[in-house]
Amino acid sequence: MPDKTNSIGRAHGRSAAELRPVKITLGAMKFADGSALIETGDTQVLVAATLENRVPPFLEGSGRGWITAEYAMLPRATARRSTREVTRGRQSGRSAEIQRLIGRSLRAAFDLRALSAMTLVLDCDVLQADGGTRTASVTGAFVAAVDALGEAFLRGDLKRWPVLENVAATSVGIVGGELLLDLDAGEDQQAEVDMNVVGTASGGLVEVQATGEQGAFSREQFDGLMDLAVDGVRQLVEQQQKALASVLEEIEVRERKGPRKEAAPKDEKELWSKP
């Protein structure tokens, strides 16, 4: 099992098996359909959710909705300024990879048929990067998505609640021979093994990305990292539920009332006023 003491002097005085301080602010943006600001230590990601009444061409007529994502970093999100990708004229391979990860992760958390012919777009913008921006984006994107879908459900735009279960993500790794949960940027740069894990509230796995940066690692080490990651996801789900408490309470009240009854069509005569 991973050492739970702070033997390597981690930032925030945390143990090997401890997350960085997590804060999720719901409704961080005025105009988005749903939004969340997630802070994990010094990493900050702003997520905006937008519902659009369309689906990609390959889903037209299928009765299924879609969830997709975009990911970007502010030029001074890191210690040195990076040129905006739009200025370079092309998206980086890293950004493309991360936004596909976010989209895949979120699609595992929702019933796409319940979205009908709607697309949910999640814009993830990194305000400050100190490691774990992709995992923070996944965790924050779920909260922003539920925020947007909650409003749509309460308005009657969705016939049934589409959430299957929470999805969240964290990183784990081996630094100086120690198994660590939730690597910050400094730890990530020194890691012998680096791993990102996307999981569900029930303990299921959506995606595992693991790399031996300085050589191979053992099955025993892999299992130890997975144990750390699953527990980290569990803690992040608790933070998501805390941030979404008011939204979920309204959804629960609405669901207790049962399915909405469609209004009976009015007689055509009633649609015309008397002369």
Average pLDDT over residues 36-46: 97
CA atoms within 13 Å, Cβ hemisphere of 98: 24
Which one is the CATH code of 20-77+94-257: 1.10.150.120, 3.40.50.1820, 3.30.230.70, 1.10.3720.10?
3.30.230.70
| φ and ψ at residue 151, rounded to 5 degrees | -65, -40
Residue-wise pLDDT tens digits, 208-219: 999 999 999 999
Token readout for 163 is 């959430």
Q: Pairing state of beta strands 66-73 and 119-128?
A: parallel
pLDDT for the residue numbered 254: 87
Query: Is residue 268 predicted with pLDDT exceeding 60?
Result: no
